[in-house]
Amino acid sequence: MEIEHCASYGNVEANNWNTGGFVGYLEKGKIRNSVSYGNVKSTVAGWEPKTGGFSGTNTKGNIQNCNAAGTVTGSHPTIAPGGFIGYDNNGTTAGCAFDKKKNPSLNAVGADSGTPGSNQIKAADTTSLLSNICGSYLGGHTLSKVDRKEATHLTEGNIQYWVCANCGGYFSDASGANMITSLDVVIAKSAEHTADRTGWHSDADNHWNTCECGEKINQSGHSFTWVIDKEATSTEKGSKHEQCTVCNYAKTAVEIPPVKAGAEETKTSYKIIEGTESSYVLQSGNSLTIRVDAEFSKFAGIKVDGVQIGKDNYDVKSGSTIVTLKSSYLNTLTAGTHNLEMLWTDGSASTTFTIQASVNQNPDNKNQETATASNTHPAAQNNTKQTTDKSPKTGDYNNPLVWAAWLIVSEIIIAGTVYYRKKKHL
């Protein structure tokens, strides 16, 4: 006889011996990958009960990868039942288990047995036992993922884990290799207050969040900025209001007077906080950063030397407004001083910056490199010497022109001396 991949679900109660959850008496038979789910109860008290969670008696039988998931109860005063086998008579079991949590006082094999066989039976907790059933009888776990949930001040959270629909087991991985307990998935409640999902609450002066317990947290004063609701024209009034940049609390709108026809709009000259009169060396790979005390939301663009440049040539971010000219753009400019104007819808800020030639582009350095090269290259040395010999030398007395000049000067001096002496004797 051979039985494989079978299950018994009913509870078993008997008033005679050889009582088991799956089989009462097994002799020389084989049972594999099977399970008994029901409870087993024996009312025998006057003789050997031979009661077990899976098999009452195993005489030279072979049981492999089987599990007993029920509670086993006996009535005999001295002979306890077995969690898996009630009476072993030279039988063999391997890879089997019974529920130790449900049967804490029982051993795998009953107290009164014949010739002991080879028994590999594990006393497992309920979760591990059900996991064994998934693998041996059901063919594997059917897992579903449970996403991580953060704990709050009032509620527990949980880690990310997987749970089996068949056995109810918990696993820390999607493959079902690492089994954990239900306690392992719990994240304890936070000792600190945590904001609920109701958003910001506010009054005229402050804003705050609320904890699940009702406590106010994260309270601070408003940070207001002006918001234009309607632009004023020459014929109609406009309106604007102050609004908090954090919680959006808004004050009552105020009136903007009509703009006088022909009147120039007043523009704000914003202050540069950092980066005024900066410099950049061509091909250095650096950038130029300027920080301006102006509202980031009103930023409108950049002009260099009076020409507005594309947005791909710079980066801009808040705090108040931080503008960074990219090296790829700066490398397109010529060496020298350039005008920079940063624009907002209601004003501007101006400064200058300097583009410096790189070391390789400096003419003095280039001449110096050429001179150095000529000192180390024989052909260049000869060329230099030939060029030098052709140049006139101010202190060269072998030059015929120099001697001619000296001769003329000498004759003038002699003639002057003779004339002076003759005149003296007259």
Angle formed by the axes of helices 378-390 and 363-376, nearest 10°: 110
What does the DSSP assignment read for 354-417? EEE--GGG-HHHHHHHHHHHHHH-HHHHHHHHHHHHHS--TT-TT-HHHHHHHHHHHHHHHHHH
Q: Which range among 111-115, 385-389, 399-403 shows the weakest confidence by mean pLDDT? A: 385-389
Residue 191's Cα: distance from chain center in Å? 26
- Model pTM? 0.44
Q: How far apart are the first and last CA of the chain?
A: 172
C-alpha to C-alpha distance for 298 and 294, rounded to whole angstroms: 8
Q: What's the pLDDT band for 321 if we cut at 50, 70, 90?
A: very high
Give the model's confidence band at 412: pLDDT under 50 very low, under 70 low, under 90 confident, else very high: low
Q: What is the pLDDT of residue 212?
A: 87
> Which of 136-140, 198-202, 240-244, 245-249 shows the lowest per-residue confidence on average (mean pLDDT)?
136-140
R_g of the chain, CA atoms, integer Å: 50
Averaged confidence pLDDT in the chain: 86
What pLDDT, in 10s, does the model give residues 97-118?
999 999 999 999 998 878 889 9
Over the stretch 213-266, which tens digit does the pLDDT of each residue have?
999 999 999 999 899 999 889 889 999 999 999 999 999 999 999 987 655 556
The third-level CATH classification (topology) of the domain covering 266-354 is: Immunoglobulin-like (2.60.40)
Is the pLDDT assigned to residue 405 strictly greater than 90? no
pLDDT digits (tens, 9 = 90+) for 30-48: 999 999 999 999 999 989 9
pLDDT of 66 above 90: yes
Query: Residue 375 above 70 pLDDT?
Result: no
The pLDDT-based confidence of 388 (bands split at 50, 70, 90) is: very low
Instruction: Count other C-beta atoms under 10 Å from residue 368's C-beta.
Output: 11
pLDDT: which is higher, 321 or 359 = 321
Q: What is the pLDDT of residue 366?
A: 46
pLDDT value at residue 32 = 96
Pick the range with the lowest mean pLDDT from 2-6, 244-248, 262-266, 374-378. Answer: 374-378
Q: Work out the pLDDT band at 90, boundaries 50, 70, 90.
A: very high
Sign, CA torsion 228/232/236/239? positive
Beta bridge partner(s), residue 35: 7, 67
pLDDT of residue 319: 83
User: Please, which residues have CB within 8 angstroms of residue 363's CB and are 6 or more apart in sequence?
Assistant: none
Domain ranges of the chain: 1-136, 141-185, 193-254, 266-354
